[in-house]
């Protein structure tokens, strides 16, 4: 999905308590991107009610810190709350839930829309008006749940949400995005690495033709240690991980046809069509914002693919080609040659 950027909205340093750490039946450690897309849609509905003429189209997440609520050891277990007893005094069954505390910055792609539904040019608005809308959006967000967690207050920390207009000149675009990246440091942004999953599957099939895409996903989801014979006769064990690669859920795929509203018993909403689905998985990577070159590298959006019945969270990040400097031989991806002042 490619759309023209009108403005970028930065909501910095949100402190979230007890967010959902179980992102799917097979993964945990950070909320799924579907939770943040759902937050964006719920926020759009709230903004319409309070009269803020802003529509949020895409969302990016930068994590500054996280603390999963687990007991660490050889086998980690979630810290669970004890349920209240029933009327007979017996202990109720425990429904296991994973919780985590986080500090996030959210980046939204925004556009203007008047009450009549007609486009509203944000470029024609005064900067003070744009900042006032950004502050109202931040206040609305503070009353909502973020991935099931509560937004905490702030003590002694200066937070200034910003609405940044996206210029037409490429040089000015780079400057705006450089300013946004700088405000998101230190932190890590989650991007999609579907390309890495496909390339790894091709390598596995060269070694074992019967390998499936699931084998490639599982292989990338773990540390694979291999021995390496050294010149002095010793053996060195080294893993094959490159970067902070993680398995992530990226949406849902239909298990059957779309059902009419109210046709399935015990659904939450009897006015909305219903469908049974299962989770779709892919590979993601945590990157420092300084490695991103365009907002599309950071932003996620929803996409519906009708033939397969897929409801997907998509991201347009493209990994740079590894090249070598002719003079120094250093990789262009090497942090040592990156200008951190930008």
Integer CA distances (angstroms), 197 to 281, 288, 301, in order? 10, 20, 20
Integer CA distances (angstroms), 200 to 191, 192, 204, 207, 273, in order? 17, 15, 6, 11, 38
One digit per residue, the tens of pLDDT, for the chain of length 342 reads 446 899 999 999 999 999 999 899 888 889 999 999 999 999 999 999 998 999 999 999 999 999 888 887 777 778 777 777 778 877 777 767 788 999 999 999 999 987 767 888 888 888 899 999 999 999 999 999 999 999 987 655 568 899 999 999 999 999 999 999 999 999 999 999 999 999 989 998 998 889 899 999 998 888 888 788 788 878 888 777 777 899 999 999 999 898 999 899 888 888 889 999 999 999 999 999 999 999 999 999 999 988 888 999 999 998 887 655 444 443 333 333 333 333
Six-digit token string for 283 = 């590979």
Global pTM value:
0.85
């Amino acid at each position: 999905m490619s759309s023209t950027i009108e403005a970028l909205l930065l909501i910095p340093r949100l402190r979230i308590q007890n967010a959902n750490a179980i992102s799917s039946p097979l993964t945990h450690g950070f909320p799924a991107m579907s939770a943040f897309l759902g937050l964006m849609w719920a926020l759009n509905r709230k903004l319409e009610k309070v009269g803020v003429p802003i529509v949020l189209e895409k969302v990016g997440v930068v994590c500054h810190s996280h603390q999963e609520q687990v007991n660490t050891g050889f086998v980690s277990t979630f810290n669970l709350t004890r349920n209240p007893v029933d009327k007979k005094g017996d202990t109720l069954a425990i429904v296991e839930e994973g919780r985590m505390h986080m500090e996030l910055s959210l980046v939204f792609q925004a556009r203007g829309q008047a009450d009549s539904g007609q486009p509203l040019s944000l470029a024609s608005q005064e900067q003070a008006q744009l900042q006032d809308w950004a502050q109202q959006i931040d206040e609305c967000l503070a009353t909502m749940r973020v991935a099931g967690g509560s937004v905490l207050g702030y003590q002694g920390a200066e937070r200034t949400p910003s609405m940044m207009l996206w210029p037409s000149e490429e040089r000015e675009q780079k400057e705006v995005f450089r300013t946004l990246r700088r405000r998101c440091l230190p932190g890590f942004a989650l991007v999609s690495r579907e390309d890495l999953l496909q390339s790894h599957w091709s390598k596995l099939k060269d070694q074992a033709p019967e390998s499936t895409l699931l084998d490639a996903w599982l292989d990338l989801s773990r540390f694979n240690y291999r021995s390496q014979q050294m010149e002095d006769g010793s053996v060195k064990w080294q893993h094959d991980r490159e970067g902070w690669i993680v398995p992530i859920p990226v949406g849902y795929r239909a298990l059957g046809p779309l059902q009419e509203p109210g046709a399935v018993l015990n659904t939450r909403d009897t006015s909305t069509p219903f469908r049974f689905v299962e989770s779709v998985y892919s590979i993601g990577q945590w990157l420092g914002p300084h490695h991103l070159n365009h907002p599309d590298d950071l932003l996620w959006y929803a996409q519906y693919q009708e033939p397969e019945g897929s409801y997907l969270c998509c991201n347009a990040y493209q990994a740079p080609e590894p090249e070598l400097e002719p003079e120094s031989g250093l990789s262009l991806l090497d942090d040592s040659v990156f200008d951190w002042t930008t």
